Amino acid sequence: MPSSDDRPPLITVIGIGADGWTSVPETSWRRLLTADVILGGARHLAMLPDTLDVVREPWPSPLRDNLPVLLERHAGLDIVALASGDPLVSGIGSTLIALLGAGAVRIEPALSSVALARARMGWAAEASAVVSVVGRDLHAVLRELAPGWRVVVLSSDATTPDELARLLVERGYGESVMTVLGDLGSAEESRVDATAATWTGPAPALNVVALDLRGSVVGAWAGGLPDTAFEHDGQLTKRDVRASALARLAPQPGQLLWDVGAGAGSVGIEWMRAHPRCWTIAVESDGARAERIGRNAALLGVPNLRVVHGRAPDSLGDLPAPDAVFVGGGATAPGLLSACRERLSPGGRLVVHGVTLETESLLAAAYGEHGGELTRLSVEHAAPIGSFSGWTPGRAVTQWSWSKP
């Protein structure tokens, strides 16, 4: 439970740089001397002097599942946790605050590896991104692909640079400059520069990779990636109508989208690409398509998109309430639209597409009963007609969009 503002913190988290205790301020040292319990990884606990009479406990595995039990076991004791660098940069500090509340956790940061990497590279914070792949899928880096963009990658281990180089080459970014910075801030600090195509390794276990991206494939965070960016079997919300749907779904940081009847997953994927904290649950009844959504999500840099293989509305019951819902297929399923409206959070947005007369009639009725916006989208593309060119119309799409009061 989060502590109130007038209570002392339940746990203090002390950041330690790669140079060990030399950079830890005296106040943090004093805090260690008064602790009953010190938590940390094996590497940090091994740094403690043998003369320190205190209970030492390593982090449990898996961490998130077992952390509450560990903290309950030491309830009422004076607890200090050790962490690398800044505990709030993809660190244990964020996990503890999410579990206990900000008032229960005091953070004493050291200089982060991100700050050190940017200092070594001379990169401004506002002109580069940070992606952590510590215990995460490396494909998350692919969301950031854009010529001329700079990315600081927090590596999981010594294998990350090799895997990252291979991934960049596969995605057309083999000329990107990779700078592998090892053991930042320590006496063993190292630096190796190469392109993704020429990188051969090895790398230190503790490393950060600075990427100066160079490639011919232009990524975009605005809605409307080319249809060719997605693997599909024809069940795909096409580029122009997809951009229209995303404009009305209005992605916001931290919000959840249900992509119902997801097909190739294009809308849910682009929702997540709009901001790193957007997330999607894609619901798809066809098994082959459900697997395809996962592949598309990984290759477009959002591997954490969750796929539910099931038929709506039956498969929606146990899902967390969404901030937005897109129904790209199967809108005529009995009870589906009413279930989506009911589960939407206040202020949530619902966008439904239909191409059949039956779906169009359903959406017209929904518009008449609930209001919102009813739009008919018809897109034509120029195509050859003999030795000339002419307009080839696509199938018209009826779009109903509605916001929950």
Convert the pLDDT of each residue in 160-176 to its tens digit.
999 999 999 999 999 99
| Distance between CA atoms of residues 367 and 354, nearest Å | 13
- Band of residue 8 on the pLDDT scale cut at 50, 70, 90: low
pLDDT at 240: 97
Cβ atoms of 39 and 55 closer than 8 Å: no
- Band of residue 343 on the pLDDT scale cut at 50, 70, 90: very high
> Which residues are CB-neighbours of 98 under 8 A, at least 6 positions away?
none
Residue 2 scores a pLDDT above 50: no
pLDDT at 4: 43
pLDDT at 210: 98
Residue 123 scores a pLDDT above 50: yes
| Distance between CA atoms of residues 301 and 155, nearest Å | 16
Domain 11-111: homologous superfamily in CATH? Tetrapyrrole methylase, N-terminal domain (3.40.1010.10)
DSSP string, 320-347: PPPSEEEE-S-TTSTTHHHHHHHHSPTT
Q: What is the mean pLDDT of residues 356-365?
A: 97
Q: Please say whether the structural domain 227-403 has been given the CATH code 3.40.50.150.
A: yes
Q: What is the mean pLDDT of residues 92-121?
A: 94
pLDDT in tens, 10-51: 899 999 988 777 778 888 888 888 899 999 999 899 888 888
Q: Which CATH class is domain 114-212?
A: alpha beta
pLDDT in tens, 191-204: 999 999 999 989 99
| Cα angle value 116/120/126 (rounded, 5°) | 75
Residue 3 scores a pLDDT above 50: no
Q: CATH 3.40.50.150 occupies which residues in the chain? A: 227-403
DSSP string, 113-148: HHHHHHHHHT--GGG-EEEE-TTS-GGGGGGG--TT
pLDDT in tens, 225-264: 999 999 999 999 999 999 999 999 999 999 999 999 999 9
pLDDT at 7: 59
Give 323: exposed, middle or buried? Use CB within 10 Å, 0-12, 13-18, 19+: buried
Residue 261's alpha-carbon distances to 49, 234, 297, 328, in angstroms, are: 58, 13, 16, 6
The CB-side HSE value for 130 (13 A sphere, CA atoms) comes to 17
pTM: 0.90
Residue 27's alpha-carbon distances to 24, 30, 33, 93, 358, in angstroms, are: 8, 5, 10, 19, 71
Q: CATH 3.30.950.10 occupies which residues in the chain? A: 114-212
- Band of residue 6 on the pLDDT scale cut at 50, 70, 90: low
Cβ atoms of 224 and 246 closer than 8 Å: yes
First-residue to last-residue Cα distance in the chain? 31
Cβ atoms of 282 and 293 closer than 8 Å: yes
